[in-house]
Structure 1
Amino acid sequence: MALLAVLGALLLLCFVFLLRLFIVVKTGSECKPGAKGSVSVLVVAGSGGHTAEILRLVDVLSPLYSPRCYVVADSDRMSEEKICSFEASKGHTEFSIFRVPRSREVHQSWLSSVLSTLKALSCSVPLLYRLRPDVVLCNGPGTCVPVCVAALLLALLGLKEVQLVYVESVCRVDTLSLSGRLLYPLSHHFLVQWSGLRDRYPKAVFLGRLV
């Protein structure tokens, strides 16, 4: 009987958790970002083309999106240089860059990547708790998954409603990236840059080429 009671309690807890997750993802915050002024945005940059694409997106953001914080993988030196050069070219001095462990290195085994992702999540949770952004903007690097999960945890715990905006990379024509597949059901706004992806994924929004 005691075992049945414990199992029942666990099932109830799982149900409540999933219900809360559904509400957070489907409804988001009652106070939408920008409704009361500036929007603090956390931008997740990735190595190579991901960083170039995300900076082109940031370049067209309204001045309303301020302050801006960036998250990069701790082994990604090139992205930090690109971000600093980009912000300097705009004459901006109020931005911050934070590092988290990389979720998965190139050619890393899937088993070991689970552990590295959990490590990245353990660093992302306190970072998101400290920053509490209004919006997380990302476009596919593996680093964005633990960051977005950490943002959802804030909402699940009732600490801060964070809007997740995912823009799939322009190089993804027929299929979503792994990060895209993981975050497709969790993002509040999921944008794709090819109409074929919009047809395959009904939740996705197609606005044409963004970068």
Structure 2
Amino acid sequence: MSLVLIATILGSIIAVVGILCIVFLLFDKSVANVPSKRTKSASLLAVLGSGGHTKEILCLLEHLGSHYQPRYYVLANNDKMSEEKINQMESDKHYKISIHKIPRSREVSQSWITTVISTIYAIFYSIPLVLSIKPEIILCNGPGTCIPICLVGMLLKVAYPVKIVYVESICRVETLSLSGKILYHFADSLIVQWPQLVTKYPKAKYLGRVV
């Protein structure tokens, strides 16, 4: 797919997200009730992909302290495996968790033109979800399921503070994934697990292997 087409698709999606966010902000008075003072804990919204992506982000979450709570998990509506893995990992914890589902932005082998439509459809679900949760941190490592959530989080920064952290998959050695390339320009922190990626993407942060 050409860079021009990618830019056109991304621009169209951002424009739609912006319009929808403005509409929701105008009618959702709850945004004004976001606490202004920091607390000892930070609410965390984690977006799960599937398969290896799920394994990686759950591994990362297991090493986070208990002060990252409550925890909100977002996954694709047909991803049963990730839901089972979440329940297994969190079964012995004593803090609040909740699981939410949104439509997939893109299925395997789906055309890029129809991806625009399915992504906008996913955004309709993501806007009220992010508004109701009001996370302080959005954590993700792809794939496309995270894009609607992150775009909404990015555009809602004007209403309340939220940090977007993208951890690139360990399997991305030479280049970023498509999700990583998109969020490289918008995430507050983009973490890579191979030092050579920082040479190509200087805004990325190399912290060694984190999953």
4+ runs of 1 displaced by more than 4 Å?
none
Structure 1 position 91, deviation (Å): 2.9
Letter in 1 for 2:61: V
Q: Does 1:66 align with 2:107?
A: no
TM-score calculated relative to the size of structure 1: 0.81
The residue aligned with 1:192 is 192
Structure 2 residue runs of 5 or longer lacking an equivalent are: 1-14, 19-35
State whether residues 190 and 203 of structure 1, in contact with CA within 8 Å, keep that contact through their aligned partners in structure 2: yes
- Aligned pair partner of 1:87 in 85, 90, 115: 90
- State the SS of the aligned residue for 2:164: strand
What is the CA–CA distance in structure 1 between the aligned matches of 2:161 and 2:95, rounded to whole Å?
27
Aligned equivalent of 2:142:
140
State the AA in 2 paired with 1:142: G
- Please say if residues 69 and 95 of structure 2, whose CA atoms lie closer than 8 Å, have aligned partners that are also in contact: no
Separation (CA, whole Å) in 2 of partners of 1:77 and 1:93: 22
Match of 1:115 in 2: 117
Return the offset for 1:35.
Answer: 4.6
Identity, % of aligned positions = 51
**Relative to 1, partners in 2 of residues 1:192 and 1:34: Cα closer, same or farther, differing over 3 Å?**
farther
Total equivalences in the alignment:
178
Amino acid at match of 1:199: T
1:63 is displaced (CA, Å) by 1.2
Higher-Rg structure is: 1
* Distance in structure 2 (CA, Å) of the matches to 1:153 and 1:37: 26
Classify the secondary structure of the residue corresponding to 2:64: coil
Matches for 1:48-63 after TM superposition, within 5 Å: 48-63=51-66
Q: Map 1:1-211 onto structure 2 (within 5 A).
A: 35-88=38-91, 90-92=92-94, 94-155=96-157, 158-211=158-211
Quick one: distance in 2 between partners of 1:181 and 1:54? 18
Q: CA deviation at 1:153?
A: 2.1
- State the match for 1:22 in structure 2: none
Q: Specify every segment of 5 or more residues in structure 1 that has no aligned partner in the other structure, as ranges.
A: 1-13, 18-32
Three-state SS of the structure 2 residue aligned to 1:81 is helix
Q: Residue by residue, what CA displacement relative to the aligned partner does 1:79-99 show, whole Å, maximum 9, x if unpaired?
A: 1011111111x4346210000
> RMSD across aligned C-alpha pairs, in angstroms?
1.8
Q: Taking structure 2 as the reference length, what is the TM-score of the superposition?
A: 0.81
For structure 1, which segment, 34-43 or 192-201, has the greater mean C-alpha deviation from structure 2 after superposition?
34-43
Code of the residue aligned with 1:118 in structure 2: it is I
SS class of match (1:194): coil
